Amino acid sequence: MVCSVAAACPAPRPRWHRVFLAMVPQIVQHAKFAFRRLHGEARQDAIQETIANALVAFVALVRRGRMSLAYPSVLAKYATAQIADGRRVGNSLCCHEVLSPYAQRLKDFQVESLDRREKDDENAWCEVLVEDKTAGPFDIVRTRLDFAAWLSSLPSRTRRIAKALANGDSTSDVAARFDVSAGRISQMRKELAISWRAFTADDRESTAA
């Protein structure tokens, strides 16, 4: 009976847990500012990596009996600098891996996607429009012609937003470009999808007639 009661009572957390948790909000704020130019998952990943890196540095100070020297601003600044230098918690630096930011910086090269398109090329959708591998040349050409006709039926501003989304731009990028909220762009995605389905349905009906 005594064993079961003891097992049900978790061991008290060490004091440094509470100290570090109290620092987390300030560390997060510093990371958000430091990585403000990143977007989406990349930014969130950098923020979480900052917390992890700061925790590792904080624990190292605790083990050396210097917890009193730990300040959230210093920990955050050190962590963001480490991340900017390609140093991530649990990962060793590799100068032979082409996708490693450390290797790219050390050997002065960049890796770009083969699907990269210029932001100002509003007709890039012609190249990035997904093609069904089971579709024949006629179906592919017809889809592209239908898509172009559908775009021309939209109001000018809506058409430019649709092209930006078709080019693969993120919701946040399109929102910033057209000075609207990300929520409105998400709503427009759904509206455009409904409009496209209605347009192609009407086209099929007219062809069948």
pLDDT: is 12 or 103 the higher one?
12
Residue 19 token pair: 């100290």
Alpha carbons 174 and 188: distance in angstroms, whole number: 11
Per the CB < 8 A criterion, the answer to whether 89 and 56 are in contact is yes
d(CA 102, CA 11): 41
Beta strands in the chain (DSSP E): none
Backbone angles phi, psi at 163, to 5 degrees: -65, -40
DSSP state letters, 47-74: HHHHHHHHHHHHHHHHHTT-GGG--HHH
Binned at pLDDT 50, 70 and 90, residue 24 comes out as very high
Q: Residue 173: its pLDDT value, please?
A: 85
pLDDT at 71 over 60: yes
Q: Six-digit token pair at 135? A: 């579709």
Q: What is the CA radius of gyration of the chain?
A: 26
CA distance 170 to 111: 20
State residue 32's pLDDT score: 92
* pLDDT > 80? residue 108: no
Is it the case that residue 166 has pLDDT exceeding 70? yes
pTM greater than the 0.85 cutoff: no
Give the Cα separation of 208 and 178 in Å (integer).
39
- Report d(CA 150, CA 129) in Å as an integer: 14
